[in-house]
Amino acid sequence: MKCGDQNTTYFHRVAQANASRNAVRSLTLESGAVITDLNEIKAEAARHFREFLQAEVDEFEGVSQEYLSDLLTYRCSSTQCSNLVLPVSSEEVQKALFSLPSGKACGPDGYTKEFYVAAWSIIGNDFVVAVQFFFLFGQMPRSVAWIDVCRPKDEGGLGLRRLREVSRVFAYRLIWSLFTLSGSLWVAWTKLRDEVTAFIRVEIGNGENASFWFDSWLPHGRLIDVTGPTGPRLLGVPLAATVKDATGLGGWTLRRTRSAQLYHLVQSIRASPLPQTSGKDKDHLFFACPYSFTVWSSLAGKLFRHRITPDWADTVTAIQDLSGDHLKDILIRLCFQVTVYILWRERNTRIHNNGGLSAALLIHNGEKLIRNRISSLDYSKKPRLRLLLQRWIMFRP
């Protein structure tokens, strides 16, 4: 009992017992019939109170003040009546708040009594004003939007500055300094831009990040500067196209032109190597690359047997069509997920760190990940998976 209604196990048990004891399990109708269905009980209760509260009485006689006065013999003195309508003082508000028991649930605003007590030196005046406002007008004061608080004082605000606008002003100031200060590196670059543009070249790689018209990926410079604004229409390549967008299965997809200047440009483009795709696309990584297929076949070869293939689409289709041995199907899917994960991580390591693992070491890491994942399963909730590790050891001794 010392804990009161704090969040204790005893309190919740008592609350559950009270809720069970107060539950309405049956209802007797005016006709004498007894209903026990919960939905029928709800409907009957709603009907009863709706008719009771909305009933209209034709012959209703009001109750006089004298009749009500005879019911109560006690009368308040004039002093007591005056005290009842006196304004609520700040001392009374603070005393009432501080006298609340501790450990109670939060109010509608989400704050506890302890919060108000701890922050009374900061919010005390506002709290008192809100309570006094309620006693005077019967409602809580309306909250003010932050945008109104940040208005200038002559417009009814407090003159506070919005952090978003202040941050934007500083950003504009920085941009202005970059373009105007004589010692700015950006100003120096702007002055030398025309001189160094001729020496800038873009490696197209797979062509997905190189702009066909605005990047200097050919010795001619930016193609939009060579052809002018009519270039995209004459060559049939959109203005926002990448280098890869201008290629297809048969090579460069450029429109024929009769212009002598564009003819030589088109011939130069057709003579340029196509964007590199070998070794970087999805099908090569999963699992056409000999390195990738060695890892994949080593982890899942004994499970897939003759269905093992380096083709991505065929592998995905085969996994989706799995049916039969439940544990074996789980192991195949687990091998597939682990293989994709370790190959992608190995790819990123080789690109960014200039290093890599041998196929044998990568296979060893994959086996370890699979074994750890199987060992982490909760067999109490999934008893069908108890033999999963044993099946894996059978295929990977």
Cβ-based neighbour number of residue 298 at 10 Å: 19
Q: What is the pLDDT of residue 279?
A: 46
- Residues in a beta bridge with 252: 247
Asked whether residue 309 falls in the same domain as residue 208, the answer is no
The secondary structure of 101-114 as a DSSP string is PTTPPP-TTS--HH
Asked whether residue 291 falls in the same domain as residue 324, the answer is yes
In a domain, 74, yes or no: no
Roughly how many angstroms between the first and final C-alpha of the chain, as a whole number?
62
Asked whether residue 311 falls in the same domain as residue 390, the answer is yes
Closest by CA position to 11, among listed 19, 22, 23, 106: 19
In a domain, 321, yes or no: yes
In a domain, 255, yes or no: yes
**What is the dihedral sign for C-alpha 282, 288, 293, 294?**
negative
User: Is omega for the bond preceding 52 within 30 degrees of 0, making it cis?
Assistant: no
Asked whether residue 390 falls in the same domain as residue 337, the answer is yes
Closest by CA position to 194, among listed 222, 227, 229, 232: 222
DSSP H helical ranges for 146-200:
146-149, 163-180, 185-196
Asked whether residue 256 falls in the same domain as residue 296, the answer is no
Cut 0.85: pTM above it: no
Tell me the residue range of the domain where 25 lies: 9-53
The residue ranges of the chain whose pLDDT is under 50 are 1, 249, 278-280, 354
Q: What is the pLDDT of residue 397?
A: 55
CB < 8 Å & 24+ apart, contacts of 371-379 = 373/334, 373/338, 374/334
Q: Which of 212, 247, 271 is the last residue of a domain?
A: 271
Asked whether residue 292 falls in the same domain as residue 340, the answer is yes
In a domain, 81, yes or no: no
In a domain, 310, yes or no: yes
Asked whether residue 227 falls in the same domain as residue 289, the answer is no
Q: What is the total count of domains within the chain?
A: 3
Q: Which of 242, 271, 300 is the last residue of a domain?
A: 271
Q: What is the pLDDT of residue 143?
A: 66
Asked whether residue 14 falls in the same domain as residue 40, the answer is yes
In a domain, 155, yes or no: no
In a domain, 118, yes or no: no
Q: Is 231 helix (H, G, I), strand (E, B) or coil?
A: helix
Asked whether residue 266 falls in the same domain as residue 349, the answer is no
Asked whether residue 267 falls in the same domain as residue 289, the answer is no
Would you state the structure tokens that stand for residue 391, as one six-digit string? 């099946």
The label of the residue with tokens 């999934």 reads 382
Alpha-carbon gap, residue 371 to 393, rounded angstroms: 9
